[in-house]
Structure 1
Amino acid sequence: MESLLIQNTEDTPQIDFDLGTGIFSISGRSLPENAIEFYMPILEWIEKVLSETSDKTFVFEIKLEYFNTASSKQLAKMLLMIEKYNDLHNITIRWCYEKEDNDMLVSGNQYSKFLKLKFEFLEY
């Protein structure tokens, strides 16, 4: 299986999932016209990687400047799916937020409260 790279647009984030390093990064703005259509192949790719491997270390780095409600639902779906594989892998969610962006920090904290995943919060 190969790494996944999707360049960002004005309305969609950059997706850079590097199997060599185990770092899966989502960065930029996420307000696609159809969030389900945008995120579905990404979710399928992640599930395939997590289900076909074991005992790996993965860092899911989320560094979004902004995401809309539809994207929020897809992020929750992604994190819930990742949580299913937490016992097979060493998984960390690295939630990155700008120093003055309290809303993004709050969003990350909300996700961390309902998931049994290790969260790191990184201010930049």
Structure 2
Amino acid sequence: MIKTFKFSGSEYLPSVILDKARNEFKISGLSIPEDSYEFYRPIIAWVDEYVKNPNLVTHFYVFLEYFNSSSVKQIFFLLSKLETILKNGKEVKIFWHYKFGDDLIKTKGIKFKELLHVPFELVEHDK
């Protein structure tokens, strides 16, 4: 069984929970690492393992308040890995959360939705 991946986050790094047993997949907070490749490398490696034997249904929640340009590429790469689940006949959906009035995060979500071949829902929150 794949081990749970948890990272508590910090002032500049997002919290990450990847828990197959509890069917919980979430990234939240700020993503402004000095080296986004190194930060996301173990997260992407975990997802690579997970997609080999995923749950019947996978819902991936993104609650990012801000991310820098180097994080965009890594986040996109991470989310694109989820396409494998769909190709193998199992259900996957990304929920992209953003605050009302946060056009930057909303626009990035719209762009990701256009580029990814995975069901993708934009979820707006008041404040």
Paired with 1:63 and 1:96, the residues of 2 have a C-alpha distance of 5
Partner of 1:65: 65
5+ residue gaps, structure 2: none
Name the TM-score, length of structure 1 as normaliser: 0.93
Report the equivalent of 1:98.
99
Give the deviation of 1:19 after TM superposition.
1.4
Paired with 1:3 and 1:55, the residues of 2 have a C-alpha distance of: 14
Deviations 1:97-119 (A, max 9, x none): 01121111110010110111101
SS at structure 2 position matched to 1:24: strand
After superposition, what is the alpha-carbon deviation per residue over 1:4-61, rounded to whole angstroms, capped at 9, x for unaligned? 110111110000112133221000000100000000010000110111x156211110
Written as runs of structure 1 = structure 2, the 5 A alignment for 1:78-89 is 78-88=78-88, 89=90
Deviation at 1:3, TM superposition (A): 1.5
**What is the percent sequence identity of the aligned residues?**
29
4+ residue runs of structure 1 moved beyond 6 angstroms? none
CA contact (8 A) 2:9 2:15 kept: yes
Q: Could you say what the CA RMSD is over the residues aligned between the two structures, in angstroms?
A: 1.2
The TM-score, its normalising length taken from structure 2, stands at 0.91
- Unpaired runs of 5+ residues, structure 1, are none
Deviates more, 1:36-45 or 1:99-108: 99-108
Q: Which amino acid aligns with 1:68?
A: N
